[in-house]
Every structure is written in structure tokens, then in C-alpha cells.
Structure 1
Amino acid sequence: MPKIYISIGSNQDAEDRIRFGVKQLGYYFSDLELSSVYESEAVGFDGDNFLNLVASAKTQMTVSQVDQAFKQIEKAAGRIRGEAKFSNRTLDIDLLLYDDLVCEKPVRLPRGEVLYHAFVLLPLAEIAPDLKHPVVGEAYQALWQSFTNKDQQPLWAIDFDWQH
């Protein structure tokens, strides 16, 4: 059964939306594992801080079906499609990896943000430190250790109340 890695983020009513998103993912996928939740400043626009994490799960769905499930969860959380790339998000769920599949359609895999955004790379390195990026061939922990934009993209782990 394929293993997927999922980026989850929000900066609008973020704690509730993160809890909602993770709960919904649990209905669609099995063996859900979560990284720590990280807080970071908005990138590319003025907005509230974001909460982000990465989850892994197993699925029997195709990449297209996974993508559609994510869009349904985002919509149920109040996400409106067509927003500017750098803007506030009620809930943003992105497929980062689908096993070691490399493709451009129906979504780009591995997702490009993995290598360029601390809020994706650090939580991914936390839950899959020895897993290797299917294109560059380096383990995520090594990629995080050599990540050069840590000062420009500060983030910090927070205590997250999953029960609220």
C-alpha cells in the first residue's frame, strides 16, 4: 500500500482548522503519523502566523483521488479556490510524496516546496529523517541540515492541544 506524505497548514483560526484537517485525513487514510506542529511567519504577504505540520499515511487511492480528497477537506474547512498564492489560508493540504513517484500530472511529485520551504522540510525531516528524496537522492534529515535559508524562514515547534 503506497505511503504518502502530506503538508498541512493554516493561519486563519489555525488550531481549529488543523485539528479539523487531521481528523478528516484520518477518515480517508490509514496509519496516520504526525510531526510536531510548527509556527512560522507568513511568507510573501502580511498575515497572521501559520501553523504547519507534515503527516504520513497509507492509502489505496490514486494520486488523483488523494488530491480530490484534499480539495474536499479544504472546501469543508472554508477554503475558497483561486486565492493568491501568497495569502491567508483557512486550510492548505498538499501532497508532498506518494511513495517515490516522480510525475508532473495530476500534481507535481515530489512537491517542489519540500526543498525550498523550512515549514515543509523540517517537519518532513522529523517524521522521515532517513527517507530519500526521489530526485536529489538525499535523506530529508541531511537536506534539512544543509538547508541554507533557516535564518530567512524561522519556525519553532509549539505545544499543540489536539483535544481542544
Structure 2
Amino acid sequence: MAAVFIGVGSSINRSENIRLGIAALQAEFGELLLSPLYESEAVGFSGVNFYNLVVKLHTEQNIVELIKKLKGIEKQHGRPEKSSKFTPRTLDLDLLLYDQQIDPDIDLPRGEILKNAFVLKPLSELAPTLRHPVLGETYQALWRNYPQQKQKLWKVSKQLPDHY
């Protein structure tokens, strides 16, 4: 079984869509481990703030099947199939890591891990000692060295359950 990390985000009806997205992932994959929930400003466009977290799960699905399943869950929760990258979202499910596989064609590990605080911070809390498959550094060390003034990020006080 592959250990998989997925970035989960929403800027439209955030609490409800995050909750529904987590429930859909749990129904498909079983037990989930969740990072704390964070709020951040939109990146790349002016818009309402996003809620983000990272989910760890295990699957026997291959990468292509998994991505197809994630896109299906997004679509079921109101995300248009061909939506622009820098727009508000009902639900965003991004495959961040699939075991320690490296595949530039699929963007594994996902480049946003190193670019966006709303991905790196929750990943560093969920898997602090796991090492980035390309850089070899732990996510905890990567977060410690991240220019934290670059993006505003704050923990949401109303938390989702620690796991399902």
C-alpha cells in the first residue's frame, strides 16, 4: 500500500466543503490522518481566504487511478472540470506525495510543497521527519527554513477531528 499525502483546500463555503471532501476521502480510502486546518490568503489572485490542510492516507490505487479519483471527488463537490488555476474553489484535492516517487510529468513531489506555506506548514506538522524525495531534507527542516513572511497563514481555531 502506498502512503499518500493530499493537499485539501477550499475558498467557497470553506468549512462545509472541507468537511465533505474529508468525508469523501474517508469513504473511498478508509482511515485518514489530518494536519491542523489553516487559513491563508489567496495566492496568485485577489479573492477570499482559503482553508487548507494535508491528509495522509494509504491506497492500493496507482497514481493515475488516484488522480482520476481525486478529480472525480472535486467534480462531485461542484468544481468545474476545466477551471482556471487562479480562481476561488469549492474543493481542491492535490496529490502532493505518492510514497517517495519522483515523476516530473505528474509533478511528484508536487512543486507547491516548496512554494506555498499553506502546503508546507501542514505537511511539516503531519510528517515532520519524512524526507522530501528530491532534496532529502525533512519537511520540518524545510518549514524551518521557509521565508515565513512570504505568505500569511494562521491556524483555524475550529478544528476537524484528528483522524477518521
**TM value normalised by structure 2:** 0.94
Say whether the 8 Å CA contact 1:38–1:52 is kept in structure 2: yes
Q: Which residue of 1 aligns with 2:143?
A: 144
How far residue 33 of structure 1 moved from its aligned partner, in angstroms, is 0.1
How far residue 109 of structure 1 moved from its aligned partner, in angstroms, is 0.6
Q: Which residue of 1 aligns with 2:152?
A: 154
Provide, for residues 86-112 of structure 1, a one-character-per-residue CA deviation record: whole Å limited to 9, x for no partner. Answer: 11111000000000000134x221000
Q: Does structure 1 residue 10 correspond to structure 2 residue 6?
A: no
Q: Does structure 1 residue 132 correspond to structure 2 residue 131?
A: yes
Q: Which residue of 1 aligns with 2:20?
A: 20
Runs of 4 or more above 6 Å deviation? none
Q: In the alignment, residue 28 of structure 1 is paired with which amino acid?
A: E
- Identical aligned pairs, as a percentage? 46
**1:34-53 superposed matches below 5 A:** 34-53=34-53
Is the partner of 2:31 in helix, strand or coil? strand
Say whether the 8 Å CA contact 1:30–1:59 is kept in structure 2: no
Say whether the 8 Å CA contact 2:35–2:54 is kept in structure 1: yes
Find the aligned partners of 1:162 and 1:36 in 2 and give their Cα distance.
8
**1:52-91 superposed matches below 5 A:** 52-91=52-91
Say whether the 8 Å CA contact 2:37–2:160 is kept in structure 1: no
How far residue 82 of structure 1 moved from its aligned partner, in angstroms, is 2.2
Unaligned runs of 5+ in 1: none
Is the partner of 1:87 in helix, strand or coil? coil
**1:78-117 superposed matches below 5 A:** 78-105=78-105, 107-117=106-116
Find the aligned partners of 1:41 and 1:128 in 2 and give their Cα distance.
24
Say whether the 8 Å CA contact 2:37–2:159 is kept in structure 1: no
| Cα distance change on mapping 1:121 and 1:86 into 2, 3 Å | same
Say whether the 8 Å CA contact 2:131–2:138 is kept in structure 1: yes
Provide, for residues 43-98 of structure 1, a one-character-per-residue CA deviation record: whole Å limited to 9, x for no partner. Answer: 12111100000010000100011101101110011001222211111100000000
How far residue 151 of structure 1 moved from its aligned partner, in angstroms, is 1.1
> Matched residue pairs, number?
161
Find the aligned partners of 1:160 and 1:56 in 2 and give their Cα distance.
20
**TM value normalised by structure 1:** 0.94
Find the aligned partners of 2:34 and 2:160 in 1 and give their Cα distance.
11
